[in-house]
Chains A and B, each alone.
Chain A
Amino acid sequence: MLELSSVVINRGGRNIVNNVSLAACTGEFIALVGPNGAGKSTLISVVAGLMKPDSGTVTLDGRSLGEFRGQNLARLRAYLPQNPFCEWPISVERLVALGLTPSLPAIGKMPEAHISRITATIEAFDLSDHRDQPATTLSGGELTRAMLARALVGDPELLFVDEPIAGLDPRHALDTIKRLRRLAETGKLVVASLHDLTLATRYATRIVAMHEGQVIADGTPGEILTPRLLYELFDVDARINGEGERAIVDFLPPD
Chain B
Amino acid sequence: MFDVWRMISLVSGLLLMAAPSISQAQSPQRVMSLNMCTDQLILNLLPASRITSVTFLSHSSPNAALSALAAHVGINYGTAEEVLSQRPDLIVSGDTSTPTTRAILGHAGYELHEVPSADNFEEIREITRKLGQVLGEEIRAEEMIVRMEATLKELVETMPQKKIRVVAWDGGGFVPGRGLLFNEILSVAGGINIAAVDGNDYLVDFDLEELLQARPDLIAYASATLKAPALRTQALQHRIVRRFYEHRLITYADNLYVCGLPQSAEAAKDLRAAMAMVMESLEVLQ
The answer on direct contact between A and B (beta carbons under 8 Å) is: no
Residue ranges of B at the interface with A (Cβ–Cβ < 8 Å): none
Residue ranges of A at the interface with B (Cβ–Cβ < 8 Å): none
